[in-house]
Structure 1
Amino acid sequence: MDWNMEIEDLAKGYAESETQCACLLCGKQFERGRIYEMDGELYDAGGAVRCHIRQRHGNTADFLLNQPASLTGVTEIQKQLLQLLSRGMEDGEIARSMGIAQSTVRNHRFKLREKEKQARLFLAMMEALEKKTQNAVGKSDQGMMEEVHASATMLDDRYSITPQEREKVIRTYMDENGALLRFPAREKKKIVVLREIMKNFKPDREYSEKEINRILERIYAQDYPTIRRYLIEYGFMDRSKDGSVYRVKE
């Protein structure tokens, strides 16, 4: 998911342009001027992307709430509270459902409102700073830093990678056909390589383990199971409990 999108677009889960409507949650695109049949109904691009989000993702609020706490800044109890609020439940119902006092629910409501104020102030402050200095905080001396993928399982300096560093790693560890020459030992370089490997997978489909192995074997025949394991560990892919189905993690 592109976290640089406008807040309004992030909240509704899709972005619109002159030529298409694109789901921000998985990247699926719907061309303007086409009619899409979904659930026995006909939709234009805007209606189709909204229907797609309902079918595939449930709703945008739940999708956003289920992002890692390192991205949302929301605690587990606040997440649960927000989910119950989204169902239209009153404080008393929420208190009974969560097994807490009604006053505790009100206290959490207050904290969430304060968090919203802080977020708005922070966004305004960052925008003012960028306009004043014409420099984004995400820049380094070598240029803009790479975006962290939304499903990352850890957030630290291993993601402090510039585009120049990324290109150098790819040239060093991968050939012109995208095959891996050797798997890097440094964590930062692993992330660059794994992100590049993920370009071989589509976000809107499921893969069997046999399909995953076949794709990864073409990329790194020496030890493709290790690559598969790292794709799971680093949050690039999801795997079903029985290991039979793999999906690009959104």
Structure 2
Amino acid sequence: MSNSERFWNATIDELSKGYVYEREEQEYVCLLCNQKFEDGIIYPIDDTLFEARRAVVHHIEATHISVFHYLIKLGKKNTGLSEHQQDLLLCFKEGLTDKEIVKQQNGGSTSTIRNHRFKLREREKQAKVFLTLMNLLDSTQQKQEKLVEFHKGATMVDDRYATTEEEKQKILNTYFKQGVDGALETFPSKEKRKIIVLQNIAKRFEMRKVYKEKEVNEILKEIYNDFVTIRRYLIEYGFLNRSKDCTEYWVKN
């Protein structure tokens, strides 16, 4: 299971903790970056020994500050929150009073802040009803085709590019005639096909590994002769990140 699938398939309780326990692999997995901690292994961190579960909790605090801070930075596309609402939630998280929030924002009134609190509570109620409706709907839609999920950082992806697993396989078979791990025949011009192809190519790179530009080029040369174009699109579409001086590349979570 990819980290994106693991993240979006997690329950609210699992998302709140920021990690899941994979029983088959017997490891705790950070939902925010896919860092894994094997059960039964002792991890020395900052002169302290941690069991796997405590190690993943420590990792989340040290790397991501908190699950709250990570989630709120996902942006409006994933949270549905405006920048102002995100700022207010951060203030609420810090335990600031309405007066302190007004002072921090250099304007407004305490009654306005109270109104925002009320509206956010209303959204919480609406979200519970919506989640319940979707849960009930899922039980009657088991025969519906599953849509392809893209990682949280992927750009230029919206509902227009919704693709079923069957469509995805047809696209991959069309452009990777030697198999999904083989070379690319041609690079598609249509956006939906382009995204599916780039997603497949991105799987050739290891998570959390930093690549030099030469290493990226060598991998892409095996896939397609115009490797520069592929490399550019992987960056533009949010599948890879790179340093400002363009010397280092890594998979975008």
Whether the TM-score (by the shorter chain) exceeds 0.5 is: yes
User: Are 2:168 and 1:166 equivalent residues in the alignment?
Assistant: yes
Q: How big is the alpha-carbon RMSD for the aligned residues of Structure 1 and Structure 2?
A: 2.0
Runs of 4+ aligned residues of structure 1 deviating over 6 Å after TM superposition are none
Read off the aligned partner of 2:247 and give its amino acid letter. Answer: S
1:182 counterpart (181, 186, 194): 186
Read off the aligned partner of 1:31 and give its amino acid letter. Answer: E
User: Are 2:207 and 1:203 equivalent residues in the alignment?
Assistant: yes
Q: Deviations over 1:175-195 (max 9, x none)?
A: 334322211111111111111
Read off the aligned partner of 1:104 and give its amino acid letter. Answer: T
How far apart are residue 244 of structure 1 and its match? 3.4
Distance 1:149 1:70 in 2: 13
Task: Indicate if the aligned counterparts of 1:148 and 1:159 stay in contact, CA closer than 8 A.
Answer: no
- Secondary structure at the aligned position of 1:219 is classed as coil
| 1:9–1:245 CA distance, 2 compared to 1 (3 A) | same
Matches within 5 A, 1:14-163: 14-18=19-23, 19-101=26-108, 102-131=110-139, 133=140, 135=141, 140=144, 143-163=145-165
Distance 1:178 1:89 in 2: 55
| 1:213–1:207 CA distance, 2 compared to 1 (3 A) | same
Q: Deviations over 1:148-206 (max 9, x none)?
A: 32123244334311111111111111233432221111111111111111112223233
Distance 1:106 1:245 in 2: 47
How far apart are residue 4 of structure 1 and its match? 1.7
Distance 2:117 2:248 in 1: 39
Tell me what 1:10 maps to: 15
Read off the aligned partner of 1:246 and give its amino acid letter. Answer: Y
| 1:110–1:232 CA distance, 2 compared to 1 (3 A) | farther
Which is further off, 157-166 or 115-124?
157-166
Distance 2:97 2:250 in 1: 37
Distance 1:156 1:32 in 2: 38
Task: Indicate if the aligned counterparts of 1:68 and 1:151 stay in contact, CA closer than 8 A.
Answer: no
| 1:245–1:146 CA distance, 2 compared to 1 (3 A) | same
| 1:212–1:104 CA distance, 2 compared to 1 (3 A) | farther
2:222 counterpart (207, 218, 222): 218
Tell me what 1:191 maps to: 195
Structure 1: which 5+ runs fail to align?
A: none
Distance 1:128 1:164 in 2: 25
Distance 1:75 1:84 in 2: 14
Q: What is the aligned-residue identity percentage?
A: 46
How far apart are residue 98 of structure 1 and its match? 2.2
Q: Normalising by structure 1, what TM-score?
A: 0.88
Structure 2: which 5+ runs fail to align?
A: none
Distance 1:97 1:201 in 2: 44
Distance 1:242 1:108 in 2: 43
| 1:83–1:189 CA distance, 2 compared to 1 (3 A) | same
How far apart are residue 78 of structure 1 and its match? 0.7
Q: Normalising by structure 2, what TM-score?
A: 0.87
| 1:200–1:241 CA distance, 2 compared to 1 (3 A) | same
Distance 2:210 2:93 in 1: 30
